[in-house]
Amino acid sequence: YDSGFNAGARAGYEWGPWRFEEEYSYRDNGNNSVQLGSVIGTRLSGSRTTNAIMTNAIYDFTFGWPGTPHIGVGIGAVELNDTLKAPNVGQISNSSNWEFGYQAIAGLRYDISPVWAFDVDYRYLATTDATFQSRPFTVNGVAVPAVKYKSGYSTNSLVASLTYRFAPPPPSPPLPPPAAAPAAAPLPQQQAVLV
């Protein structure tokens, strides 16, 4: 597959160093190097697009740096859409499947203000193998029946995103005041008695 693009949106909840989010992302990759056995002497072209709905958990490492590194994982469902075109024939496949998806996340967050943050992430997304089906067609006088084919899917994405916090994170609690030194016990008073 050729390089493509990834666009989407996320919403979630930030709880201390943890972030929990729901993510929708759309990916599009073209291809021009599919070979269908030895029947077709030229390569097929087409594209693969995906709609991914993922639930992610991300942990922020707070070292006091300007940027906050983070790692995370996600699981969800991914719809894989496959199209293939044969030369002088046109489209021979346009099928889709929903598959189990999983992803690994690593990146850096920079807080622009208490409510705005900028993230740069590496995201690796993969799915279980999907089964697609082509339609029957004829090329160079040869009839090609409909075939089912399996294909794995994995992507490596570099994603930049802008995040808005609807409520800024609470400030760190102030340090307690130092404990006061214990008061000295009063000295006993002496009284003079006149007889």
What average pLDDT does this structure show over 85-100?
84
pLDDT digits (tens, 9 = 90+) for 112-167: 998 999 999 999 999 999 988 888 877 777 777 887 888 889 999 999 999 999 87
Radius of gyration of the chain from Cα atoms? 31
Question: Do 55 and 11 form a contact (C-beta atoms < 8 A)?
Answer: no
- In angstroms, the first-to-last Cα distance of the chain is 114
Query: Looking at the DSSP assignment, which residues form a beta bridge with residue 23?
Result: 10, 54
Give the separation between CA 69 and CA 90, rounded to whole angstroms. Answer: 47
This prediction has a pTM of: 0.75
